[in-house]
Amino acid sequence: MVGPVWNADLRGVFLGLEAGMQTADFACAVYEGVALSARHVLSALEASGDTRAPCLTCVGGGFRSDIWGQIRSDVLDRPLQRLALAEAGVVGAACIASVASGMNETLAKAHTPFSGTDRGWEPDPNRRAFYDDLFEIYLEALKTLEGLGKRLNALRA
């Protein structure tokens, strides 16, 4: 399933394969595919809120990779700032618990000591047109894959 398209019939594919492709090409395609999915989700979220985030804060193991961080910044066309903490889920739960217990008045206040960043990426304006075009192909592929996935599932049933 690819958010915001929650459809169990969707299947993953590599588009545009060529005989000379190497392992690194496939890794890049996976990085780009995940980033395009994030753009899809972010687009839907921002449309529903009628707002655009000027910068995104990120966390997680995938953001340990400078290459992947740069790809995501380029695809999303936003600066990204990586939180310095490693376990955001645990810290988030502790912040919620501190508000629920009365130790902190707000989540913003509880989170402030943990909001430092240690790395950032700026989108490369030279990659903008490429990733805009790739995003359109991604959206078109999703529509096609929905129908193909249903047909594949029917064959296997």
Mean pLDDT for the stretch of residues 124-149: 92
Q: Is the pTM of this model over 0.75?
A: yes
Q: Which of 112, 92, 36 is nearest to 68 (CA)?
A: 36
CATH class of 23-151: alpha beta
DSSP string, 100-150: HTTS-SSHHHHHGGG--EEEEE---GGGHHHHHHHHHHHHHHHHHHHHHHH
For the chain, domain boundaries: 23-151
pLDDT per position as a tens digit, 83-97: 998 788 888 899 999
